[in-house]
Structure 1
């Protein structure tokens, strides 16, 4: 018996050694296969790309419209700024090479026998021949939906031809809750198909968007707003489809997520919208009852994150996007209600840093990253337009702090190009925190929601959601010098925002945190 036990232990050790060896080999192989090399002969383990030469692990390229080099990591794992490899004082560009074979990234429009190397500028751009490229956005060419008049929320009916309508939905691949919700819905569709000769389902898009901004109280606002009896929610609070996931952000950009998959997320809400009618609206004989329930999208990237604009043919050769998320949403939802909640951008940035930075957080590190971010942004302004630098992912990723999110004026200005101001409600976290009830009533009025009954007013007393974590509070305040630098950086943008909205409260008072 003892011999058998000893033998079993030896076998287990052998298995462990083999597994560890295989894992180490796999890591080494992956590292090698995703390595890059610049013309400076500096060997890289990884260059994270955002454009034309988007490599997979086999070194093949999937040609896009342009490129932005987002991040450079050397063989030891140390990260570098792009401008530490590129001399921004020179107009000369460098070639991007793949692995040890020195494979040059080439344009899809260039003949193989006369291949010319693509070149990148100091801010990450690679030029591409745009001859013959389509100049109209795919989304803007998509046919719009005819919404039902007896539904407050934008909805329409579609024939229901099969039960397994969500088998290829991309959101179910990374959201377990979404997958469960969609699978549950298929039980309802099975009943409809078996009981109705002409089955159909109600399809809906959001009536409202809480479009921005991160770390400004949007989670608490969303939770209290969706507690209203006439508001129903999709299974994912922030699908980020308009800003990121349309291009497959959560799927490592391996596949795009179509509009139909996004609409699927609102099918459960649509089912509830369909079953609730307004008893106060009289119904004439033979007429359809009125459905007053609404749903929304609370992705706070929607206002500002148009970073993947370079993937679209219409932007080929451009240094800034022709259209933003505002244009695409307006194409489908010209009557959408847009809610934006803001706070002092200096405070927002520090809160954002403490929340999203997972390790080595400190006031000193924050100061260094702020300095790096401002320097990178100002260096970009020396060569490109302000709009180009704001929508340049390379510039944004030069630092760990998301400096540009606080440029509220620049993003809201884009939305006001297509939406009138009375379809946008822009509120301050300061006001929301000071008088939550009054601010929520403003939101309810903006969305045309009925007044709450007395026994429903408990939602005003709900605990604050997504508060700053205790361990982050223990880090303390930012340095006074950091606060001053950020206040000076954001002040011109705040002044423009206050003028745009005709409200001096958006100047904020630059108190210490």
Structure 2
């Protein structure tokens, strides 16, 4: 008697083997390869390795061009002062030397993952100053939108150049300059918490170096690398399925049924695009984004993470999970304060960690959980990107299996 495996039994066998590999060997590449074959849907990253050494940029100045963003590569990096913790320098303005500063840290993303709450707790520290012309005292939107001539809702605006960006931190610069330690060191810092900076590359066609190209050779990470000497980046990742539901309800969501319909349509749009174009071209496209009912593209974390790691080393990122904050907010805050080299006492840390949570979505609570069929669709769509992110970070927590 001959025993034959049906197609579903074969899939189940492969899954059992993959789980055995994880339990026996931990997070290994064998598990990645098996999962990739089952769930890739055409997304295969260029390489499984990521950069771990500083990249030398070899990007040439193109200069001013009509309808293009300011060419930062025509500007030399500021000469940052060594007696300032925050990146600051003196420049002539109206015949006088004035202190100019840019952020010491960036909370890069991602939206609806607790970035507002974390920014609030960082600014609770006495050595941290907010931004004087930012949304919610925290979001400049310079790197992802304003420098391209887009408003926060992608409406057309006058582009914000690098001088305009500096002006957003003029008040912070004044306070930083006025405050010193006994040794004369200026220890105060300022930061930017624009979650869209991590993943919103839709302005890439307006960069002079990308003129006439089908996909960008220069994105936000390259620009930041040219400007900053030693930036500190903070990322908070949340299960992308849950993140999208919160995001949808925050913006204009009406019901769980409407969310399911929107998700179904958006997955179809993205998958259709990816059949004929690269994943990056579809996720960075302004035209595709305008067709979508949700910001489903924001949850494809690994695609953007690889973009950043082409330019910066892994050590320049503090990467957190929203879910871990819920379990131990004090432990997460300790990591952040240590990373930013902020002094604290245990009592002070406890006080800030226990402050009321910011930006809780009341609308989502009222609507209740998403439909199970919606969660199934999204989990399947995001599975390839979660797997890739876990591979990049060598941490299976970013599979969000539990």
If the length of structure 1 is used for normalisation, what is the TM-score?
0.62
Aligned 1:299-310 pairs, distance under 5 A: 299-310=194-205
**1:277 equivalent among 180, 188, 193:** 180
Deviation per CA, 1:293-315: give whole Å up to 9, x if none. 11110011100111011122322
**2 CA distance for matches of 1:230 and 1:438?**
20
**1 CA distance for matches of 2:386 and 2:117?**
24
**1:432 equivalent among 318, 325, 346:** 325
**Is 1:158 equivalent to 2:86 in the alignment?**
no
**2 CA distance for matches of 1:373 and 1:252?**
22
In structure 1, stretches of 5+ residues that fail to align are 1-132, 163-198, 284-288
Q: CA deviation at 1:218?
A: 0.4
Deviation per CA, 1:211-254: give whole Å up to 9, x if none. 10000000000000111111111122111000011122229424
Q: CA deviation at 1:136?
A: 11
Tell me the equivalent position of 2:286.
393
Q: Note closer, same or farther for the CA distance 1:159–1:141 as it changes in structure 2 (3 Å cut).
A: closer
Moved over 6 A (4+): 133-137
**1 CA distance for matches of 2:194 and 2:348?**
30
The alignment of Structure 1 onto Structure 2 pairs a total of residues equal to 331
Deviation per CA, 1:87-108: give whole Å up to 9, x if none. xxxxxxxxxxxxxxxxxxxxxx
**2:141 equivalent among 233, 237, 240:** 240
Q: CA deviation at 1:452?
A: 3.2
Q: CA deviation at 1:320?
A: 1.7
In structure 2, stretches of 5+ residues that fail to align are 1-64
**Is 1:475 equivalent to 2:392 in the alignment?**
no
Q: Note closer, same or farther for the CA distance 1:384–1:158 as it changes in structure 2 (3 Å cut).
A: same
Q: Note closer, same or farther for the CA distance 1:475–1:258 as it changes in structure 2 (3 Å cut).
A: same
Is the Cα–Cα contact under 8 Å of residues 390 and 404 in structure 1 kept in the other structure?
yes
**1 CA distance for matches of 2:157 and 2:118?**
33
Q: Highest relative contact order (Cα 8 Å, sep 6+), 1 or 2?
A: 2
Deviation per CA, 1:141-165: give whole Å up to 9, x if none. 2221000010011001123427xxx
Deviation per CA, 1:167-218: give whole Å up to 9, x if none. xxxxxxxxxxxxxxxxxxxxxxxxxxxxxxxx43211001100010000000
Is the Cα–Cα contact under 8 Å of residues 247 and 253 in structure 1 kept in the other structure?
no
Q: CA deviation at 1:257?
A: 1.2
Q: CA deviation at 1:453?
A: 6.3
**Is 1:362 equivalent to 2:265 in the alignment?**
no
Q: CA deviation at 1:457?
A: 4.4
**1 CA distance for matches of 2:354 and 2:377?**
37
**2 CA distance for matches of 1:454 and 1:434?**
19
Q: CA deviation at 1:334?
A: 3.2
Is the Cα–Cα contact under 8 Å of residues 372 and 398 in structure 1 kept in the other structure?
no
**Is 1:221 equivalent to 2:122 in the alignment?**
no
**2 CA distance for matches of 1:491 and 1:383?**
21
Q: CA deviation at 1:395?
A: 1.5
Aligned 1:258-407 pairs, distance under 5 A: 258-279=161-182, 283=183, 289-357=184-252, 361-407=254-300
Deviation per CA, 1:422-473: give whole Å up to 9, x if none. 110110001112111110110111111112363574222210000011x432
Give the 3-state SS of the residue equivalent to 1:158 in structure 2: strand
Aligned 1:110-189 pairs, distance under 5 A: 138-161=71-94
**2 CA distance for matches of 1:293 and 1:148?**
13
Is the Cα–Cα contact under 8 Å of residues 231 and 293 in structure 1 kept in the other structure?
yes
**2 CA distance for matches of 1:295 and 1:339?**
14
Give the 3-state SS of the residue equivalent to 2:352 in structure 1: helix
Q: CA deviation at 1:268?
A: 0.6
Deviation per CA, 1:70-123: give whole Å up to 9, x if none. xxxxxxxxxxxxxxxxxxxxxxxxxxxxxxxxxxxxxxxxxxxxxxxxxxxxxx
Is the Cα–Cα contact under 8 Å of residues 221 and 307 in structure 2 kept in the other structure?
yes
Is the Cα–Cα contact under 8 Å of residues 341 and 428 in structure 1 kept in the other structure?
yes
Tell me the equivalent position of 2:400.
508
Tell me the equivalent position of 1:255.
158
Give the 3-state SS of the residue equivalent to 2:291 in structure 1: coil
RMSD between superposed Cα atoms in Å: 2.0
**1 CA distance for matches of 2:149 and 2:212?**
23
